[in-house]
Each structure stands twice: as structure tokens, then as C-alpha cells.
Structure 1
Amino acid sequence: MTKQLDESSFKTVVASTPLVSIDLIVQNSDGQILLGLRNNRPAKNSWFVPGGRIRKDEQLEEAFGRLVSEELGRALSFKDAIFKGVYQHFYQDNFSTEDFSTHYIVLAYTLVLDIEITDLPVEQHCQYRWWNVDKLLCAETVHHNTKAYFC
């Protein structure tokens, strides 16, 4: 069983250690990339790929399945993903209003998927858009950590 920390313990972890996460680089059959406008810190109000943290005692394949379900509202197999690489994300802020940074080690996976953006969950992103890579690389509102997947 995976563990989810209480807020106080989680603040201590985020302030003290890197977090491990999975980012989902969703590409449609036209080569466009799915980005969501982030609701939460860090990277609030930036266009970002879907993804999330891996929980303690959660197998990588389980985390992938949970995140695809939570972020894309569907079930996909880990074998449907293409591993893109390991990335580092550094943020000056964190999920709370306290003053400490956030550091992620990110396992990025590409999925080729045609999905209807009106059916996507809105807990982490208030809206979604399909982006051409050349446009997202030029857009000031697309977070630099997302742009790094395409440079």
C-alpha cells in the first residue's frame, strides 16, 4: 500500500529532499503536444505537461497507471509509454505558502494518444490545449521545464 503524508510531514520532505515524479508528454497523431494550465504551485498559471509524484512504496508501473488515470482520466499500460529520459526541475516556490524551494527528479514518458481535451480532469489544470512544438517553444506562458522536453 502506498503512503500519503500529512501536510506538515510533506512540507518537511519537500523542503529537505528531491521528489521523484513522472511527466506525461502526450502527443496526438498530428504531432501536437497536450499542455494544461496549472492550477497549483509550483508552476501555477504556466502551461505544463500532465504528471505527478511517485508515492512511497509505489512501484513505477503503479505510479504510471495512477497518474495516467488521475491526469488523463483513462487507463493505459506502462508498456504503451516511451521513456524519454531523466530531467531535473527546480522551483523557487512550493505547494504551500511557506518560503522554501522544490526540487524534482522527473522520469519523462511519451504517449501517442488522441484524446478529447473537454474530457480531461481539472484538479491540476484548469484548461487544456494542443500545442505545436514550435509554438510552445516560443510561448512565454509555457514553463521552461516543459520546453526542455523539446529542445
Structure 2
Amino acid sequence: MWLDLPTFNTVVASTPLVAIDLVVRNTRGEVLLGLRVNRPAYGFWFVPGGRIQKNENLDSAFRRITHDELGHTFERAEARLRGVFEHFYDDSVFANAGAGPDTHYVVLSYCLDLAQGQTLQPPTEQHQHYRWWSEDELRISLRVHEHTRAYF
């Protein structure tokens, strides 16, 4: 269930959001990152991911998020849980309209390894560009958001 903007603003200001992040690797071990076009983390390279909706179980959320973020539906059983992380941001999606609340996420990070020859068709609503990064490269790049670097 998606919330209307005033209700969502109240939620962001009042409670943590729960999300799934996707550490997607190709067969060379490179990690897929997208250049964020929305707040928070605007202008940074970040792993794909998304919020879990109310009354959405984890398996359904994983299928929806992989479809929406990668253009291909994966099952949660195909991935490995990397861990649970906390992300704190000084801004929120509402910062574009002026002052808005800060954002707190509790994130379930999953690693998803692509099969040889498997391709993705990620959309551009959340990320302007996509590219594959080596772990060494993304660990040291200040263009990669600290919350993404924390996964490595």
C-alpha cells in the first residue's frame, strides 16, 4: 500500500522505514550501482532497492522490488542475506519541496548473483545511469554513497 504524500511525510518524520537493498553481482564479481535521481542520497551511486509496503511479506516485497529496480523478478530464495543495516540521512524525498524531515531506514541487504549471460533492464525512475563497479573501486570512490560502501 502506497501512502499519500502528507501521510508519508508524517511517517518519515515519525518512524524508521524498512527497505530491501540489492547487492547485484555479475559473473566477474562486479556490483551494479545506479546514480540516484531522488533524495535521500541524490547524486550518489547506490545499490538498487526499495521500501517494504505495509502488509507486504518479505517474499512479495523482494519480487516487487527486484522487478521494479532490475526489470527482472527474482525470488528471495535466490539471494543471500548480507545483514541488517541502519541508514540515517539528513534529508528526505520531501527536501525537494523545501524543508523536510530527516530519514531513518532499517535495511535488509541481500546479495544476488547473476547467472552467466543473464541481463537486466533496470528502469530509470530512481537511478539516472547504471554501471558495474569492482569492489575495490566502489570502496574508495566518494561518488559511491557511504551506505553502499558499508556493504563491502
> How many corresponding residue pairs?
147
Which range moved further: 96-105 or 13-22? 96-105
- TM-score with structure 2 length normalisation? 0.93
What is the one-letter code of the residue matched to 2:66? V
Instruction: Supply the distance in 2 between the matched residues of 1:106 and 1:75 (Cα, whole angstroms).
Output: 20
| Secondary structure, counterpart of 2:108 in structure 1 | strand
Instruction: Supply the distance in 2 between the matched residues of 1:73 and 1:105 (Cα, whole angstroms).
Output: 24
Alignment partner, residue 104 of structure 1 = 105
- TM-score with structure 1 length normalisation? 0.94
Q: Give aligned-pair identity as a percent.
A: 51
Deviations, residues 16-75 of structure 1 (Å, cap 9, x unaligned)? 100000000001110100000001000011000000000000011000000000000011
Please state if 1:51 is matched with 2:63.
Answer: no
Instruction: Give the gaps of 5 or more residues in structure 1.
Output: none
Alignment partner, residue 133 of structure 1 = 135
| Secondary structure, counterpart of 2:61 in structure 1 | helix
For the aligned residues, what is the CA RMSD? 1.1
Alignment partner, residue 6 of structure 1 = 4
Alignment partner, residue 19 of structure 2 = 21
Report how far residue 99 of structure 1 moved. 2.9
Report how far residue 123 of structure 1 moved. 0.7
Report how far residue 85 of structure 1 moved. 0.5
Instruction: Give the gaps of 5 or more residues in structure 2.
Output: none
Report how far residue 100 of structure 1 moved. 1.6
Report how far residue 116 of structure 1 moved. 4.0
Report how far residue 15 of structure 1 moved. 0.5
Asked if the contact 2:9–2:101 (Cα under 8 Å) also holds between the matched residues in 1, the reply is no
1:66-145 aligned within 5 A: 66-97=64-95, 98-113=99-114, 115-116=118-119, 119-145=121-147
Instruction: Supply the distance in 1 between the matched residues of 2:146 and 2:50 (Cα, whole angstroms).
Output: 17
Alignment partner, residue 65 of structure 1 = 63
Deviations, residues 97-140 of structure 1 (Å, cap 9, x unaligned)? 233210000000000015546x3211110100100001101111
Instruction: Supply the distance in 2 between the matched residues of 1:108 and 1:122 (Cα, whole angstroms).
Output: 21
Asked if the contact 2:19–2:108 (Cα under 8 Å) also holds between the matched residues in 1, the reply is yes
| Secondary structure, counterpart of 1:146 in structure 2 | helix
